[in-house]
Amino acid sequence: MSKAAVLDASALLCLLNGESGSERVLEALPSAVIGAANLAEVVSKLRERGLSVEEVGDVLGSLPLDVRALNASQAYKIGHLRPTTRSSGLSLGDRACLALAAELGMPALTADQAWAGLDIGVAVELIRG
């Protein structure tokens, strides 16, 4: 049985690259969600690696991704998270993932070690130690 979570771009990239921690992402995938901002990050990385538009579509289209649009409530949360997360170096995309996780009451799955010490009322699960 899969454990629902919100995927950070780093988690989905970990799965696509077959890296350590990908097994946890694969377990979550059937019931996971990803925000459109994080999906955009993944698409950007795949394009930077030289994949064509068609190849990116094929790779991501083969996955059961539940993509969620960014809404106004999340936009405010993303902005409000900035002072708390700035010292950890979290990007707008990172905070978008956390805002979506907070809204859905789900843990955020990430490969980003900088999230480990966050105390922001959102469960964070690192996919590799």
Domains of the chain: 6-126 (3.40.50.1010)
CA distance 43 to 76: 25
Structure tokens at 97: 């993932």
Q: Answer whether residue 101 shows pLDDT above 70.
A: yes
Q: Answer whether residue 117 shows pLDDT above 90.
A: no
The pLDDT tens digits for 7-32 are: 999 999 999 999 999 999 999 999 99
Q: Which pTM value belongs to this model?
A: 0.93
Burial class (CB in 10 A: 0-12, 13-18, 19+), 4: middle
Burial class (CB in 10 A: 0-12, 13-18, 19+), 112: buried
The pLDDT tens digits for 43-99 are: 999 999 999 999 999 999 999 999 999 999 999 999 999 999 999 999 999 999 999
CA distance 38 to 50: 19
Structure tokens at 37: 């901002």
